[in-house]
Chains A and B, each alone.
Chain A
């Protein structure tokens, strides 16, 4: 393992890796800072760029967008009480109050330092834990894999929105879409309606851009104040070392919370931020100051939401399960690069994967420097009008869907999934379970088929006496999903 880590380190130490990571961080902060433009949208649109770069350049570039975007979202949350991303919702509570008191610079500095701390600590945890977890996963057979995949998709579906039924419907719909093409075991055609173009299945990239980016763009297009801009100013002194030290305990607590939440598929940054904030408030001797401009509130939310970033890679790389919508996009990047996530990934492509994980740690250090120097510039970006940006974003989205296969049909697929995303949004259905169902449909069906083969017709006997772990996971799934849902909505 140590050899692979060292080899990965040398693979990462390239000028182009650092240059593209810096571009990604800058781009992510830019998009995150623009209210209405989400990190998810940016990642979906920039995903095709990563296909044409080396894996140790392209994937760190996307990770840069991700990390930069999560922090970028806190800039408008603090300055104009308008969270740039969902993850920054908890930051708004105290961040904007600090701005009203003329301490916006302190709040932004605290957001940056706690983000970098949380992110770096969780990335190091990921780097150390991922191989033992992958080794454990290697001991699993198809029945256990089937049970774990089922548990993951059910948790994501049930926790995706207010109504668990809607999440489960979208999950089943996503599975159905994954059936289009050839079946993974016998290679027989399914739901192709005789169309040659559908034999290879629905392409992932236009589906992701269509479902994640187009509905967001259309929301901006539909707004009446599209040409208006917000006013943002940075005031006050910088954060002092004493203030940072005072919040260090809170930052560490939030980092642990965010790291634990990151490993569980489906919960994501917003839940981590809210839970980190609530825990900090409960532990504080000055509870009453929370929500009125308490620096600890900003630190708690930001450390927690950024600590999710690293651990989401654990289920992604060891089992191929994307923990949230951003990692679903990262999965697309891995697959396009010929890196098929799963327990064997480390034996087949160990140095490359470690190179990517090490790049995540370097990205945090770059993020600290770029963020510290460029906060004032990003504060001005909030004032850029959407009517200048939407045309460019649209051009990127459509060209991005086209370039991967140079197939004009992909633009039609993009538009179809864009419409599905818009309809889902109008009827308050979350699209994440659909994407999870689509991505995990093939491995789920393969594991299901292999498990049936192993059972040799004696399904119950096989499950209870030979595969008790599978039964335990399947039985625990509804209870775990219910508990997580309860916890999520209680906070």
Chain B
């Protein structure tokens, strides 16, 4: 499992490095000769680094393919990695990306409530009251501390911002 993953990663980096070296002139803008000859061309250091990277990746690939027995990995780690719930991890990432996409539109409090509730459920929490309490209290508390205490901007719907403002006014804290 690890050997395969290593091979995929090194192959991926090797392909990227070769492509970068081939198309280096297109990926890096040419230095303008306004103030005379520059001390260093903008592509010199990247070209050196990527060439070194390619050499190192080549060395590692040779090691993985021909001398794989020298790499000793913990079997327990492999089993753990294989036992990981890909469904949960995939859902977790999907929820995080959705959070990023809808954060501006739904506002911080609502999108965070949904995120917290979803992840709690995903990780096995089946107590409705506990999940609801966590999903409501934590985002509201973080929003209030961030915007009032640390003076940080977080995107929020006018309705919710006004509601929080009203609560603060009632409590005499605004």
| B150 contact set on A, CB distance < 8 A | 49, 52-53
Is B9 in contact with A429, judged by CB distance below 8 angstroms?
yes
Q: For chain B residues 16-64, which have a beta carbon within 8 Å of chain A? A: 20, 27-32, 38-40, 42-43, 45-46, 49-50, 52-53, 56-57, 59-60, 63
Q: How far is the CB of A260 from chain B (nearest CB, A)?
A: 30
A415-B93 contact given A168-B56, A176-B46, A427-B9, CB 8 Å threshold: yes
A222-B112 contact given A189-B29, A388-B120, CB 8 Å threshold: no
Partner of B31, one of A163, A188, A386, A412: A188
Is B53 in contact with A449, judged by CB distance below 8 angstroms?
no
Is A390 in contact with B123, judged by CB distance below 8 angstroms?
yes
Is A226 in contact with B46, judged by CB distance below 8 angstroms?
no
Is A398 in contact with B152, judged by CB distance below 8 angstroms?
no
Is A406's CB within 8 Å of the partner chain B? yes
Q: How far is the CB of A216 from chain B (nearest CB, A)?
A: 13
Q: Which of A179-187, A236-244, A279-287, A374-382 contacts B (4 or more CB under 8 A)?
A: A179-187
Is A221's CB within 8 Å of the partner chain B? yes
| A408 CA / B71 CA spacing, docked (Å) | 41
Q: How far is the CB of A214 from chain B (nearest CB, A)?
A: 8
| A386 contact set on B, CB distance < 8 A | 123
| A223 CA / B86 CA spacing, docked (Å) | 10
Q: How far is the CB of A426 from chain B (nearest CB, A)?
A: 5
Is B103 in contact with A411, judged by CB distance below 8 angstroms?
yes
| A448 CA / B48 CA spacing, docked (Å) | 12
Is B97's CB within 8 Å of the partner chain A? yes
Q: How far is the CB of B85 from chain A (nearest CB, A)?
A: 5
| A428 contact set on B, CB distance < 8 A | 2, 5-6, 73
Is A267's CB within 8 Å of the partner chain B? no
Is B116 in contact with A391, judged by CB distance below 8 angstroms?
yes
| A202 CA / B49 CA spacing, docked (Å) | 18
Is B138 in contact with A392, judged by CB distance below 8 angstroms?
yes
Is B28 in contact with A191, judged by CB distance below 8 angstroms?
yes
A190-B103 contact given A218-B89, A392-B138, CB 8 Å threshold: no
Q: How far is the CB of B59 from chain A (nearest CB, A)?
A: 6
Partner of A398, one of B28, B31, B100: B100
| A395 CA / B32 CA spacing, docked (Å) | 45
Partner of A392, one of B40, B46, B116: B116
Q: For chain A residues 205-241, which have a beta carbon within 8 Å of chain B? A: 217-219, 221-224, 226-227
Number of A positions contacting B (CB below 8 A): 65
> What 0/1 pattern do residues 120 to 154 of B give for CB contact below 8 A with A?
10111100001000110011001000100011111
Is B27 in contact with A415, judged by CB distance below 8 angstroms?
no
| A193 CA / B26 CA spacing, docked (Å) | 9
Is A396 in contact with B53, judged by CB distance below 8 angstroms?
no
> What 0/1 pattern do residues 160 to 180 of A give for CB contact below 8 A with B?
001101101100110110010
Is B56 in contact with A395, judged by CB distance below 8 angstroms?
no
Is A450's CB within 8 Å of the partner chain B? yes
Partner of A395, one of B53, B122, B138, B153: B138
Is B100 in contact with A191, judged by CB distance below 8 angstroms?
no
Is B96 in contact with A392, judged by CB distance below 8 angstroms?
no
| B32 contact set on A, CB distance < 8 A | 186, 188
> What 0/1 pattern do residues 392 to 412 of A give for CB contact below 8 A with B?
101110110011001010011
A163-B152 contact given A408-B104, A428-B2, CB 8 Å threshold: no
What residues of chain B have their CB less than 8 Å away from a CB belonging to chain A? 2, 5-6, 8-10, 13, 20, 27-32, 38-40, 42-43, 45-46, 49-50, 52-53, 56-57, 59-60, 63, 71, 73, 81, 83-86, 88-89, 92-93, 96-97, 99-101, 103-104, 108, 112, 115-120, 122-125, 130, 134-135, 138-139, 142, 146, 150-155
What residues of chain A have their CB less than 8 Å away from a CB belonging to chain B? 48-49, 52-53, 162-163, 165-166, 168-169, 172-173, 175-176, 179, 183, 185-186, 188-191, 193, 217-219, 221-224, 226-227, 386-388, 390-392, 394-396, 398-399, 402-403, 406, 408, 411-412, 414-415, 418-419, 423-424, 426-429, 445, 448-450, 452-453
Additional A-B contact list (10), CB under 8 Å, known A395-B116, A423-B5: A185-B39, A193-B27, A221-B88, A390-B119, A391-B117, A394-B96, A396-B142, A414-B100, A426-B2, A426-B81
A-B contact pairs, 18 of them (CB 8 A): A48-B152, A166-B60, A169-B53, A175-B49, A176-B49, A190-B43, A191-B27, A218-B93, A388-B120, A391-B120, A395-B138, A398-B96, A398-B115, A411-B97, A426-B81, A427-B2, A427-B5, A448-B40
